[in-house]
Amino acid sequence: METVAQIPKYNLNEEEEKKLILREYRSLLKVIKSKLKPGDKALVRTAFEMSAEAHKTMRRKSGEPYILHPIAVAKICAEEIGLGIRSTICALLHDTVEDTDISLDDIKREFGEEITRIVDGLTKIANVIDVNASQQAENFKKILLTLTDDPRVILIKLSDRLHNMRTLDSMKREKQLKISSETVYVYAPLAHRMGLYTIKTEMEDLAMKYMEPDTYKEIARKLAETKKERTKYINEFIKPIRDKLEKANLTAEIHGRPKSIHSIWNKMKKKGVGFEEVYDLFAIRAILDSPPEREKEDCWKVYSMITDEYNPSPERLRDWLSNPKANGYEALHTTVMGPQGKWVEVQIRTKRMNEIAEKGLAAHWKYKEGATDESRFDKWFQQIREVITNQETDSIDFLQDFKTSFLAEEIYVYTPKGDVKMLPVGSTALDFAFAIHSAIGVKTIGAKVNHKLVPISHKLHSGDQVEIITSNKQKASEDWLGFVVTSKAKGRIRDALKEEKRKVADEGKYAVQRKLEGMGASLSQHNIDELVHWYKLGSNLDLFYQVAVKNIDLKDIKDFKIAGDRIEAPRPVKLHNEKHDFLPHHVTGKKDAELVIFGESSDKIVYNLANCCKPIPGDDVFGFVTTGKGLTIHRTNCPNAAKLLANYGHRVVKTKWAKNKEISFLTGVKIVGMDDVGVVNKITNLISGELKINIAALTIEANEGLFKGNIRLYVHDKEELDNLVQSLLSLSGIESVERYDMEDIPS
């Protein structure tokens, strides 16, 4: 995967700079040349000049003129996504309203309503990942409303994010981490859902390059080393297929392509295997030149040829010809046993399908003209529109719900009458009930899946036929939120619970009123606020509810002062430290303070190590300010890192370790090997005897000739742990040694 090269140390003079800008602008014109209609070129030039003038005093972090960024974004839109002239103009202007003196009225005067609307949408998104977390969810909603109105907004935003990722080298480390996390958390899944697989893949790879640099470099190196033998193998695999295609008079382009570094790494983690054991490092792709009426038939013909030559794995067939994905993706995928006993993934599609796979949404609309049925994209937008317009949430749950509801892969489930419903993977019978209608969802007591009775938490699979069973006595329950995955279900359940809570809270409200009047005070907003603050609750509703269910005893307020009809809580009430109180003075208050260093006994910084990832000195880490707990140190590849960095970037403190051999840190490894006499002895002798490392706990389970061991031990730093892993691997009969991933460390 190529990334755009940065100008090494930016030192061009004014004349050279002008030439560079002009060269980039001409290269953009070349890309859009075939799409230009009369009058378009003048409009593009106006947008370019307007943007260049507005940004003329601005520089990127690398030192280069800012205008190069909008030009690059416009080029990605046109060349890599296939958008047209309007989008090119919007991309050139995308930062002007937010960063310069140009207003939306100026843009409207020059370019009209449509372009103004898109630029306005892009300006709203500009602050999406905000310092205020709930504000972020609100802004994200705005994006999605704009997306359903005009998806070009999102496509231009994705181009903008991709260019930022390609030029992230000149940013500070903590900025790189924050931007990479947001990319993996929100933008890559969105690109995937828009059908932009190439862009999604590049975003994930670039994010990994910054979040897990060592692993990234290692896999890239191994891919480069094995390239020659891979190419040889691919050619050997393809030859008999090519011959068959020629005999059948089918025109097809057939080639192999490497999988992305990020997806290889995911496979290694998921399967617990090393690079050498990841069988599908590449996929073979057959792209057919077929007329529309023969597409499906030809794809199945090619499938038949491939499976005649190589044995397929029956459970690995994916038929997206009969049931395309919601983002329009169509293809046949199969995995076959190739030469030398290696599994190979094969993707079969036509040129039209390939364009939709590469360019996603933009290509989808190109082919949509003349189609009679409502597209799945339109249905998807309709679902999003419904959830956003009806949901009253301002919480961060919104982002998480959106990810699980709309950015996941989907399954197809049938109603008793045979209508198809599209739901995200992991959906339950209750999600299906809410998808039919909210009123049905809240009354659901069970379901029949393929005519068998199942509980409402039953997870559905593609092809299931579902019948919902309801009862008028049923009420929504808090537990339901634990297993539903769709935004619609979660929103409706929360609404129903809130309604229920309000009814109960009414009793609590009268109890509070009686208590206050007994003290000579009234049920005023000031007095309610004092009580909410005193009991550390979130809202009036919470206060009344907790009183009603007897979790709060109002006798506690006997120490309050009364002035007129107002009450005043005794001060000081607040026991929490302000979020930076625990930091030494030289760090607090400085935005770009030097790295906080951990591990030296002289340090007085209060910090703790995150249980979710158990960092040790030498790990790539960041500090995170947790309310009430001070500073917590996480590894950058912690499973929670992307969420924390993307949602709460303002709480991140850049962090590194100091060399210190006095303090030991708890970590763990898991070992797999041949169950041999004396194997435990060999392992403990090496760890305790030779390497002098303290073992905290050791468990070994043997089963049918294999053993699995879990060892908790104390090391000084990552170097010591890496050395231990290598030494264990060199023992005879040891198959694999891995550091425990995060919270898996057994207690």
Catalytic residues: 98-99
Task: Give Cβ neighbours of residue 120 (< 8 Å, ≥ 6 apart).
Answer: 97, 104
Q: Is the peptide bond before 312 cis (omega within 30 degrees of 0)?
A: no
For residues 327 and 195, give the distance between their C-alpha atoms in angstroms, rounded to a whole number: 5
User: How does 482-504 read in b/e, with b if 16+ C-beta sit within 10 Å?
Assistant: ebbbbbbbbbbbbbbbeeebeee
Task: Give Cβ neighbours of residue 289 (< 8 Å, ≥ 6 apart).
Answer: 251, 252, 253, 350, 351
Nearest to 380 by CA among 417, 414, 416, 410: 410
Q: Is the peptide bond before 314 cis (omega within 30 degrees of 0)?
A: no
Helix and strand counts by DSSP (H, E) for the chain: 28, 22
The enclosing H or E element of 400 equals helix 397-406
Cβ(708)–Cβ(671) below 8 Å: yes
674 is written with which tokens? 């041949």
Q: 713 to each of 261, 479, 695, 721, how far by Cα in Å?
A: 31, 38, 4, 9
- Residue 411's beta-bridge partner residues? 423
For residues 48 and 111, give the distance between their C-alpha atoms in angstroms, rounded to a whole number: 12
Pairing mode, strands 596-598 and 652-657:
parallel
Specify the DSSP class assigned to residue 291.
-
Specify the DSSP class assigned to residue 230.
H
Pairing mode, strands 452-454 and 652-657:
unpaired
Identify the three-state secondary structure at position 14: helix
